[in-house]
Structure 1
Amino acid sequence: MHDLKLHDLRCFDAVASEGSFQAAALVLSRTHPSVFAAVARLEEQLGLALLDRSGYRVSLTDEGRQFHARAKLALRELEHLQSYAGQLASGEETVLRVVMGDVCPRPRILGLLSGFFAERPRTRLHLEYEAISGPIERLMDAEADLVFHRANPSDPRLERIELCEVAFVPVVAPGFLPFQHTREITPETMRPFTQCVIRDTARRPSTENFFVLGGAHSCSVPDHMMKKELILHGLAWGHLPEWLIEDELRDGRLISIAGRHIPGRTETVAAVRRRDRPHGPVAEALWLYLQAQGRDQALEDRGSVP
C-alpha cells in the first residue's frame, strides 16, 4: 500500500462529516470531482469500501465508520503538531512548569494563573504542588520555571515578586485540651499532645523548623486540607493558614491557642524564579503580569484602592 495522502484523508473526513461530496467540496473550497477522486483513491489504496454510494446520500460503511474515527484522531493530532511547530518557530513555550507551595492561598494563586492562561491557549500550564522546601528545590533543579512559595529574599540566585501575606494560626478543636484554652499555653503544656505537621516533599529536606515542637509526638500529612481535617476531628493540633479556617474560627469549630509562647506566624507568598536562567516570552509575560498584580495588591493593602 502506498503512503496515504493528507489531502485524501481530509477529503474523506469532510465527506463523512458533511454527508455529501458537494458539501465537502464547499467546506474545502475544492471542486466536486476532485473530492470524489480523492476519496476513491483512498479507498483503492486501503482496499476498503469506506462509503456506501447506493442511496440518495452517501453514508459510511461499517469499515468506513471505524476508519473515520481513527482518521479524525490523526488529523487532530496533525493540527496540534502544526500548531506546535508554529509555536516553536515563534519562540513561545509550549509548556510552562509552575509549582505551587504549601503556604499559598490557593484560590488567589489559581485565580491569577487562570486569568493569565485564558489569554494564552497555545501554552499548556503544567502545575504541581510541593511542600516546605520542595518548591525551591524543584526550581533550583531546573524542574520548574516558576514557583509560588516563601523564599529567602537574601538569596542572590532568586528573584521574587511579593504577592500577599498569609497568617498561620495555631488551633485546636473544642474539647481537644483537657483544660481551658484561656490559660497561657506554653510548649511544655502542648508537648503531650500530637502535633500535625506538613510533610516536606523535597528529595533533600531542609533542616529548617516550621512550627514543629521539639520532643512532641507528631503526625505528618501532605497538605493543609488534610491537616485541617485531622485537627477538626480532634486527632491533633497545629498551625493552619487563616484564610482556610476563617469560618471554623468564627463559628467555634476551631479555637486559636496563639499566645506569646506559641505565636502565630505570617508568611509572605511570592512568585519566585531563578536569575541565572533565560526565560521564554510566555514566562516573561507571566512575570510582568504577576508584577502588575503584586503592585495592585500592595496598593489595596495600603488602602489606596477604593
Structure 2
Amino acid sequence: MSGFTLHDLRCFDAVVREGGFQAAATALHRSHPAVFAAVARLEGRLGLSLLDRSGYRVGLTGAGRAFHDQARRALGELDHLEAFAEQLATGEEPILRVVVGDLCPPPLLARLSNFFRLQAAATRLHLSYETVGGPLERLLDGEADLILHRVETAEPRLELVTLCEVALVPVAAPGLLTVPPADLGPNTLRPYTQCVIRDTARRPRAESHFLIEGAHQCSAPDHLIKRELILQGLAWGHLPDFLIEADLRDGRLQSLAGPRLPGRVEAVAAARLGERPHGPVAERLWVWLQDPSGA
C-alpha cells in the first residue's frame, strides 16, 4: 500500500459528509470528476472499497465506516494544527496560563470565560486552581501568566488591578457553640475544631490566616468542602461572603463576627509580573478584566 494524499482524504470525507460526489464537489469547489477520481485513487492506494455505489446514494461500506471514523479525527487534529500555525504567524499566544485562587468569586470567572469565548477563541486557556499562597507562588515561579486572587500590594515585581472585594466571615452551624455571642473570642473558641484551607504553596509563607493557637484543626482542599464541614457541625471557620449569603439568610449558618472575632475584607486582584513582556492576548485580557462591560 502506497501513501495517500491529504487531498484524496478530504475528498473522501466530503463525499461522506455531503452525501454524494456532486455535493462534495460543490462544497470543495472542485469538479465532480476530480472528486470521483480522488476517492477512487484513495481506495486503490488503501486496497479497500470504502464506498458502496450500488444504491441511489453512495454509502459507506463496513471498512469505509471504520476508516472514516479515524480519518475524521485525523482531519480534525490537522485543522487544529493549521489554526495553531496561523495563530503563531500572527504573534498571538496559543496558550495562556491563568491561576484562579480560592477567593475568586463567580462573576470574575464568568468574565474570564466571556473573554476567551468572545475575544480569544483560538487561544487555549490553561486554567488551574490554587489556594492561599499557591497562586502567587505559581506566578512568581513563572508557571502562570496571570492570577486572580488576593495579592499583597507590597510585592514590587507585580502589576496589580483590584477587581473586587470579598469579605471573610467567621461562621458556625447553629448549636455548635455553647459560648454566648458576647463572649466569643480566641480563648473561648480554643476548645472547638477550626476548619482551615490547605495551602497549595510549595513554600508556604508564615501567615496566620485566622489560626487560633492551640485549637484543634481540620483542613479542607477548598471552600466548598470547608463550607460542607461547617454546615454539618464538624467545625467552625471563615468563609467568603459570596459562598454563604443564602446560608446566613436561611439560618443554616450563623455569623460569629464581633469585636474580638472580626472578619476581614480581602481585595481580589488580577496580577502579573511587571518586568515580563506580555503577548497581545494577555494584554487584551488585562484590559478586559478591568472593564465591567466584559462581565
Classify the TM-score, shorter chain.
over 0.9
Whether the 8 Å CA contact 1:163–1:293 is kept in 2: the answer is no
Deviations 1:118-139 (A, max 9, x none): 2121112111110010000110
Unaligned runs of 5+ in 1: 298-306
Aligned counterpart, 1:221 = 220
1:292 positional shift: 2.7
* AA in 2 matched with 1:125: L
Deviations 1:70-123 (A, max 9, x none): 111111111111000000010111111111111221x11111112211212111
Aligned counterpart, 1:209 = 208
**Superposition pairs of residues 53-68 of structure 1, within 5 angstroms:** 53-68=53-68
Does the alignment pair 1:19 with 2:30? Answer: no
**Superposition pairs of residues 257-268 of structure 1, within 5 angstroms:** 257-268=256-267
Say how many residue pairs are matched: 294
Deviations 1:42-67 (A, max 9, x none): 11100111112222322211101111
Identity percentage of aligned residues? 62
Aligned counterpart, 1:304 = none
Deviations 1:160-196 (A, max 9, x none): 000111111111111101233x322121100010000
With 51-60 and 113-122 compared, the bigger mean Cα shift is at 51-60
With 247-256 and 162-171 compared, the bigger mean Cα shift is at 247-256
Aligned counterpart, 1:248 = 247
1:270 positional shift: 0.3
Aligned counterpart, 1:302 = none
1:141 positional shift: 1.2
1:254 positional shift: 1.1
With 81-90 and 149-158 compared, the bigger mean Cα shift is at 149-158
Find the aligned partners of 1:219 and 1:41 in 2 and give their Cα distance: 68
What TM-score, normalized to structure 1? 0.93
SS at match of 2:182: coil
Whether the 8 Å CA contact 1:184–1:259 is kept in 2: the answer is no
Find the aligned partners of 1:55 and 1:240 in 2 and give their Cα distance: 67
* AA in 2 matched with 1:54: S
Aligned counterpart, 1:300 = none
1:3 positional shift: 2.2
* AA in 1 matched with 2:242: W
**Superposition pairs of residues 5-16 of structure 1, within 5 angstroms:** 5-16=5-16
Deviations 1:14-43 (A, max 9, x none): 112222211111111111111111111111
Find the aligned partners of 1:58 and 1:245 in 2 and give their Cα distance: 60
Aligned counterpart, 1:51 = 51
Unaligned runs of 5+ in 2: none
SS at match of 1:268: strand
* AA in 2 matched with 1:146: L
Find the aligned partners of 2:17 and 2:101 in 1 and give their Cα distance: 46
Find the aligned partners of 1:18 and 1:150 in 2 and give their Cα distance: 53
Find the aligned partners of 2:156 and 2:150 in 1 and give their Cα distance: 15
Aligned counterpart, 2:115 = 116
Whether the 8 Å CA contact 2:112–2:289 is kept in 1: the answer is no
Whether the 8 Å CA contact 2:179–2:188 is kept in 1: the answer is no
